[in-house]
């Protein structure tokens, strides 16, 4: 339970707010590299700021104010030039540092205008990595953009999926340190959704939470596992401050504003030995829906769609004055405590937890992963198809509904295995 004031501190993301300033000390994935190949100009709202992301004809990325500095036209309707973006209203042109580099009529009327042009748009850093474009909206110097080891795994098919989730970021991130929900929300609920009216998944018997440099790890023992199982010896990573690494995929929860979050999933699926070597030339990114247009209800069939139902069900901003935390929420309490420490750190002029500054150390940074051995070594198709966990990834895309045909085809071409339709998750 939190006071109203403390809940506000953790949930507000705008510039100048305590948590908004903490989140601005980190890089966030905001779009797909391939998305900008399709449309070089994209409007984005991030942490309460309206911006426009672009790739200019020279190949550089920019992230600038959505509104032109001249008379505020919408730059998401602008067009890219060799350098930067040009407003479609009177042609003022901006580079990716936000400098106005051309004011066409002003320069005719007064040839010295170029020198006098002091106009500047708000502009943020953008970097490509792992198929995604990452934004940094904080003060200089910018920290390192984390180079997670999984981004370099070979012989895998990677795709990234975006969903617009109409609720605050914090409740989505609290899900990253909440092991017990797996038993009820995914395992048991999916059984009921498939029509089984009896029986329950193995119960959780023991939980543990540990702090690591890059976040927290949660560990579990259930009725069907023991202390030698990787879910206890390795666990899962609540990645700091707004990510989740489950050994085979990442999830990030990027604040759009106080009441909206961009969910970003990055999934690696190892190809069977027979399909090696496989080199992926382009990582497909796509948008997954969360609502069934016919019924108006949330979609229940896929893992993260189910999670989203929990998040939005908690309200646009969870009222944490009304909750009753239990023993299963020890991790949630740790997460909140650390965020308050992060707020204090930033107020004191220090880096919050999880900010990487050492470029040497930021190379293929390893994270705990129960999938690592499999992803590094792979399996022959025969064994892969019979593996209780990995066959599920090979045969379906279980995380988000709506994988487009072209991504499915690329997936099948990579693995040599046909994707099967999945109406309801089978865990
Ligand atoms: S409003 Fe953009 S150039 Fe005039
Ligand atoms: Fe979940």
Average confidence score pLDDT of the chain? 96
231 and 162 in a common domain: yes
Q: What is the pLDDT of residues 300-334, one digit of tens each?
A: 999 999 999 999 999 999 999 999 999 999 999 99
CATH no. for residue 103? Answer: 2.102.10.10
Residue 74, ligand 1, Cβ within 6 A: no
Residue 105, ligand 1, Cβ within 6 A: no
pLDDT at 117 over 80: no
Choose the final residue of a domain: 76, 110, 136: 136
Classify residue 406: in a domain, yes or no: yes
159 and 304 in a common domain: yes
pLDDT at 51 over 90: yes
349 and 268 in a common domain: yes
> By CB neighbour count within 10 A (0-12 exposed, 13-18 middle, 19+ buried), where does 204 fall?
middle
Of 254, 229, 261, residue with least CA distance to 239? 254
404 and 286 in a common domain: yes
Classify residue 169: in a domain, yes or no: yes
CA of 56 to the centre of ligand 1 (A): 18
Choose the final residue of a domain: 136, 171, 194: 136
Q: Which atom of ligand 1 is found nearest the CA of 73?
A: 1
Classify residue 281: in a domain, yes or no: yes
Q: What is the pLDDT of residues 127-180, one digit of tens each?
A: 999 999 999 999 999 999 999 999 999 999 999 999 999 999 999 999 999 999
161 and 108 in a common domain: no
Classify residue 7: in a domain, yes or no: no
The model's pTM:
0.97
Quote the pLDDT of residue 407: 98
pLDDT at 273 over 70: yes
- What is the number of structural domains in the chain? 2
118 and 224 in a common domain: no
53 and 124 in a common domain: yes
Q: Which atom of ligand 1 is found nearest the CA of 92?
A: 3
Classify residue 142: in a domain, yes or no: no
Write out the residues surrounding ion ligand 2, Cβ under 5 A: 307
Higher pLDDT, 423 or 120: 120
105 and 206 in a common domain: no
Residue 68, ligand 1, Cβ within 6 A: yes
Q: For residue 304, which ligand has an atom nearest its CA?
A: 2
Which residue's alpha carbon is nearest to atom 3 within ligand 1? Answer: 90
Choose the final residue of a domain: 86, 112, 136: 136
168 and 130 in a common domain: no
In the chain, % of residues over pLDDT 90: 93
Assign 112 a pLDDT band (cuts: 50, 70, 90).
Answer: confident
CATH no. for residue 382? Answer: 3.90.380
Domain encompassing residue 243 = 149-415
pLDDT at 116 over 90: no
256 and 111 in a common domain: no
**If you count them, how many residues does the chain have?**
427
């Amino acid at each position: 339970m939190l006071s109203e004031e403390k809940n506000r501190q953790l949930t507000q993301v705008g510039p100048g707010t305590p948590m908004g300033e903490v989140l601005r000390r980190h890089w966030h994935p905001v779009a797909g590299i391939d998305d900008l190949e399709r449309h070089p100009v994209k409007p984005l709202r991030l942490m309460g700021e309206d911006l426009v992301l672009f790739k200019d004809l020279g190949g550089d990325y920019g992230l600038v104010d959505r509104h032109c500095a001249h008379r505020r036209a919408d730059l998401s309707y602008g067009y890219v030039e060799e350098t930067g973006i040009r407003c479609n209203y009177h042609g003022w042109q901006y580079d990716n540092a936000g400098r106005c580099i051309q004011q066409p009529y002003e320069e005719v009327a007064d040839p010295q205008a170029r020198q006098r042009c002091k106009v500047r748009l708000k502009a943020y850093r953008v970097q490509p990595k792992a198929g995604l474009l990452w934004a940094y909206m904080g003060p200089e110097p910018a920290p390192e953009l984390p180079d997670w080891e999984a981004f370099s795994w070979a012989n895998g098919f990677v795709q990234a999926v975006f969903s617009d989730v109409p609720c605050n970021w914090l409740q989505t991130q609290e899900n990253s340190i909440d092991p017990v929900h797996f038993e009820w929300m995914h395992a048991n609920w999916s059984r009921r959704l498939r029509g089984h009216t009896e029986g329950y998944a193995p119960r959780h018997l023991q939980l543990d939470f540990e702090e690591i440099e890059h976040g927290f790890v949660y560990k579990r023992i259930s009725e069907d596992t023991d202390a030698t199982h990787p879910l206890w010896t390795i666990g899962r990573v609540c990645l700091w401050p707004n990510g989740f690494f489950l050994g085979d995929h990442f999830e990030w929860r990027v604040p759009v504003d106080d009441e909206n979050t961009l969910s970003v999933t990055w999934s690696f699926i190892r190809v069977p030995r027979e399909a090696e070597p496989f080199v992926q030339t382009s990582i497909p990114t796509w948008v997954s829906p969360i609502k069934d247009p016919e019924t108006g209800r949330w979609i229940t069939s896929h893992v993260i769609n189910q999670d989203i139902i929990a998040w939005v069900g908690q309200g646009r901003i969870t009222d944490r004055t009304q909750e009753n935390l239990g023993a299963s929420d020890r991790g949630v309490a740790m997460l909140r405590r650390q965020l308050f420490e992060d707020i204090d750190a930033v107020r004191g002029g220090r880096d919050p937890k999880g900010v990487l500054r050492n470029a040497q150390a930021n190379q293929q940074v390893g994270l705990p992963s129960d999938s690592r051995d499999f992803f590094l070594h792979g399996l022959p198709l025969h064994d892969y198809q019979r593996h209780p966990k990995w066959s599920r990834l090979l045969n379906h895309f279980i995380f988000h509904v709506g994988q487009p045909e072209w991504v499915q085809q690329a997936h099948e071409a990579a693995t040599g295995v046909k994707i099967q339709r999945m109406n309801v998750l089978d865990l």
